[in-house]
Amino acid sequence: MTANVAPSSCIAVHSRSGVGTGTWLDAVLLPDCDSNMEVSKKLLNSVPGCVDDALRGLTSCCPGLRVLQGHRVVLRADLEKIKGRVALLSGGGSGHEPAHAGYVGPGMLTGAIAGPVFTSPPVGSIMAAIRAVAHAGAAGVLLIVKNYTGDRLNFGLALERARREGAEVEMVVIGDDCAFTSPRKAGRRGICGTVLMHKIAGALAEQGRSLKEICQVVKEASAGLGTLGVSLSPCSVPGSGPTFQLAADELELGLGIHGEAGVRRDKMMTSDEVVKIMIDHMTDPASQSRVNVNPGDSVILVVNNLGGLSCLELQIVADSAVRCLEKKGLLIKRAMMGSFMTALEMSGVSLTMMMTSEELLTLYDYETSAPAWPHVPCVSVTGQMRTFPCVPETSQPEDPEPDSKQVQVYSRVLEHICQILLTLEEELNDLDRAAGDGDCGSTHARAAHAIRSWLSAATLPSSPARLLTTLSEVLLEKMGGTSGALYSLFLTAAAHPLQNQRGPQAWAAAMEAGIEAMKRYGGAEPGDRTMLDSLCVAAQVLQALQTPHCDVMQTLSLAVQKAAEAAENTKNMTAGAGRASYIGSSSLTRPDPGAVAAAAILKAIWQGLGEK
């Protein structure tokens, strides 16, 4: 595709690219004219051969495609099957992949002609493609061309030459850009909406429709077609620097797929805000380039990645677009999102809308094996359920008459835990800075505040199993981070032995069950410099609770003592799990904060149980 655009756009590009004179094409392909322009890094073998290498890569991975020898032309491998049918050829400058070669295949294009990056393909290659499909017995050739001056000239010249050689050739020019409310003399630029025309025309050709019929349907369909793009960053041609500059807090609306100027610049805003501006602009009744839609109309939506937008952002934009269009009362019959017509690595997105009918939907849904065409379900988007209702949690059996004395013990123990964790907040944060992000104390303090809120807002269950299960949910929701997940996991597993058992033996079994769950899912073992070092030593001592007539408080006191010693000894260990495992052992000279916190919690439990 050529980069030639209306003169006013060229001037705008010059001013923002730092190039003083010459054409916009010079500004892109001759970066040395600006000594301050930094060449962008790209994974290439060479700048001159990058297009040839790219086409070889595509055909190497797609057995249904072939390169026409001596030309940058990609054709269907089953060219003999077009005999008696209309052949479809498109193309333009490279850098817009997967357009156009990615849309070659049964049900879409017969062939695609690639030019250098952002430059229209030469007439000789277009002629070679026309001759190849004519030789295969095509019943006419349709050239689908995007509205750029270079493309119109080169494809038009090839058409005239082919007709002189006796070929039946027609050309349709697609201009779907909605950026300029009063289009320049050159007309609306051809951008991502062209891909939909490839699909419509391809289905018609596959059905054996005549060249005249295909031209007519494509022209009518393109009249209800519109596209608008927004960019967060420029792109850079191989061997060159950025084609323009955008400030870190700016975006540009309505720019072309080569980086040529848009209609306005704005400060960064949310996806919903950007999409609303785009769709309002595309449907503005005062605009000559609008998509003339009204509530109740049916449309096809394309959310197109301009090259460098993350999949996460693209899906967010797609959600914004669907909600915005449906809020306007439009019926989205089909929607697709992905990279369909890019601008190299430009971080941005374009939205395409096409007014549709039952006939166009049938053509859109027609089967194709073109490698870049996505699998799109043949169902309407609007009107579909987009969520499943959550299955309600299994109701827990009602707590029998609460044991008030037991509840008082639980409350007292939990308050001791909260108090000690809040006291240790700064110490734990300080220990965590050596190997983590310094928030261990803050995370445990957040847990303490959550537990206190729970204590003040609810009556504690007297069932120990229900107590631990509910506490695990509080910590999972409010504590957050890895610590929240680990404590919740421990408590959830520890609750199982307590469902049908009571007494010190059951609590010893609960401790073992919680530790085993942490080891199984967390991946750590004793000696890895984690909270398990404190817990496992304490659990060994608590095994004495299985002995009849064991002194519970004395055993717990010994467990607390051993846990504290184990926590202190972690300063001599090499971390084998967690974030600290990525830090050199020579840098870890203080105890592990998780082990210190676990030992402190055990001490708080002992103190709470011992308080009368």
3-state secondary structure 167-205: CCEEEEEECCECCCCCCCCCCCCCCCCHHHHHHHHHHHH
- Name the helix (H) or strand (E) containing 135: helix 123-135
Contact yes or no for 242/235 (Cβ under 8 A): yes
Contact yes or no for 409/608 (Cβ under 8 A): yes
The pLDDT assigned to 392 comes to 85
Helix (H, G, I), strand (E, B) or coil at 239: coil
Catalytic residue numbers? 258
The pLDDT assigned to 607 comes to 94
Helix (H, G, I), strand (E, B) or coil at 13: helix
The pLDDT assigned to 244 comes to 87
Kindly give the interhelix angle for 149-164 and 123-135, rounded to the nearest 10 degrees.
40
Contact yes or no for 516/492 (Cβ under 8 A): no
Backbone φ and ψ of 252, nearest 5°:
-125, 130
Kindly give the interhelix angle for 481-495 and 440-457, rounded to the nearest 10 degrees.
50
The pLDDT assigned to 587 comes to 53
Which tens digit of pLDDT belongs to each residue from 260-316?
Answer: 878 999 999 999 999 999 999 999 999 999 999 999 999 999 999 999 999 999 999
C-alpha–C-alpha distance, residues 391 and 444, integer Å: 31
Low-confidence ranges of the chain (pLDDT < 50): 1-36, 582-586
The pLDDT assigned to 39 comes to 82
C-alpha–C-alpha distance, residues 600 and 471, integer Å: 18
The pLDDT assigned to 22 comes to 32
Q: Of 130, 254, 96, which is closest to residue 181 (Cα–Cα)?
A: 254
The pLDDT assigned to 577 comes to 60
Q: Residues at the annotated binding site for substrate?
A: 93-96, 146, 151
C-alpha–C-alpha distance, residues 144 and 109, integer Å: 9
C-alpha–C-alpha distance, residues 543 and 551, integer Å: 12
The pLDDT assigned to 575 comes to 62
Note the pTM of the prediction, 2 decimals. Answer: 0.77
The pLDDT assigned to 402 comes to 66
The pLDDT assigned to 19 comes to 30
Q: Checking DSSP bridges between strand 111-117 and strand 73-76, what pairing results, if any?
A: antiparallel
Q: Where are the beta strands (DSSP E) in 155-296?
A: 169-174, 225-231, 250-253, 264-267
Residue type, 433: R
Kindly give the interhelix angle for 552-569 and 531-542, rounded to the nearest 10 degrees.
150
